[in-house]
Amino acid sequence: GNPEQNQAQALRFFKKMAKKYKNNTNVIYEICNEPNGGTDWNTIKKYAEKIIKGIRIYDKKAVILVGTPNWSQDVEQAALSPISKKYRKNVMYTLHFYAATHKQWLRDKAQSALDKGLPLFVSEFSICDASGNGNLDKEEAKEWLRFLDKNKISYVAWNLSNKSESSSFIKPDCNSTGKWTSRNLTDAGKWIINWYKKKH
């Protein structure tokens, strides 16, 4: 929803986390996941600058991810008015996609943002539809991941769970909490893991 609704709590939380993890170089702060419900970029930006200022009291260098309007899809709006310069260092903007729902039109939005110099980070994607369920669109997923690789955009897949839905990596009948084998993986899990393996 609107991140300003819980801004005071968010500021306390992220300051506490930044103080605790300031010496950990592998921590990324994602400060507002998928703003939605008509929340506009100016509202998100005001919130983000306050939270970034709080994090930077303790952690000067960590990457901070800022959500964009409409479930982290309208990245072109952030590109027109990025976070102000004094808070911009090591800040990136999130783009989320689900391959069976989000097609070339969303890549066009991403390209528009990139053309304006906006640093993007895909902190959530899957190869099914936007519900986290439905059919897998592997061809569209290839288009997306080739686009991200070409533009050197980092991406994180959703989701490492055994929930009974298409986006889960682990089959629902698997109760293991680790040391999974290929027999434990769903079709989405196998496809995404194989993609990552091919990259190395």
Active-site residue set:
34, 124
Report how far residue 24's alpha carbon sits from residue 122's, in angstroms, rounded to the nearest whole number.
Answer: 21
Backbone angles phi, psi at 53, to 5 degrees: -60, -40
For residue 37, CA distances in Å to 3, 34, 40, 196 come to: 11, 10, 9, 33
- State how far the Cα of 25 lies from the Cα of 63, in Å rounded to an integer: 9
Q: Calculate the CA 5 to chain-centre distance.
A: 21
The candidate with the shortest Cα–Cα distance to 150, out of 98, 199, 81, 82, is 199
Per residue, the 3-state secondary structure of 108-146, as one string, reads HHHHHHHHCCCCEEEEEEECCCCCCCCCCCHHHHHHHHH
In degrees and rounded to multiples of 5, residue 176 shows phi and psi of -70, 145
